[in-house]
């Protein structure tokens, strides 16, 4: 008797997108925190601050577009790690 998994291509694609967006969101939040730290310490020129701010805004906008396309909410990207709690801090 053959044991086969019955996979729905739409579900597989959505789950893969969810995983990728989760990793990208985690990296985006880390980059944002690093940028804020650098802003606060005065390490960046005004031009650098503007470019970083614009880049982070564009990334956040693109993430929102992709979430909308696949019917995901921001909280869907925060994986529950069981006893460790959520992957990312809740806002």
| pLDDT tens string 40-79 | 999 889 999 999 999 999 999 999 999 999 999 988 888 7
Quote the pLDDT of residue 77.
86
Residue given tokens 């529950």 in the structure block: 80
Between 40 and 9, whose confidence is greater? 40
| Contact between 25 and 63 (Cβ < 8 Å) | yes
The pTM of the full predicted model, rounded to 2 decimals, is 0.73
Q: Which pLDDT band holds residue 3 (cuts at 50, 70, 90)?
A: low
Residue 52 lies in a domain: yes
Q: Please tell me the distance from the alpha carbon of residue 55 to that of residue 70, in angstroms, as a whole number.
A: 23
Residue 44: phi, psi to the nearest 5?
-110, 150
Query: What is the number of domains present in the chain?
Result: 1
Residue 88 lies in a domain: no
Quote the pLDDT of residue 86.
66
Residue 26 lies in a domain: yes
Residue 4 lies in a domain: no
Residue 84 lies in a domain: no
Q: Please tell me the least confidently modeled range out of 13-17, 24-28, 51-55, 76-80.
A: 76-80
Residue 45 is encoded by which pair of tokens? 């020129």
State the residue range of the domain holding 65: 12-70
Q: Which pLDDT band holds residue 5 (cuts at 50, 70, 90)?
A: low
User: Would you say residue 1 has pLDDT above 60?
Assistant: no
Residue 90 lies in a domain: no
Residue 6 lies in a domain: no
Residue 80 lies in a domain: no
């Amino acid at each position: 008797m053959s044991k086969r998994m019955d996979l729905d291509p739409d579900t597989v694609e959505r789950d893969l997108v969810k995983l990728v967006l989760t990793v990208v969101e985690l990296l985006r939040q880390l980059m944002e925190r690093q940028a804020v730290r650098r802003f606060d310490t005065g390490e960046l020129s005004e031009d650098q601050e503007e470019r970083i701010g614009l880049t982070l805004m564009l990334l956040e906008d693109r993430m929102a577009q992709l979430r909308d396309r696949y019917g995901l909410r921001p909280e869907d990207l925060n994986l529950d790690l069981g006893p460790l709690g959520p992957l990312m801090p809740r806002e």
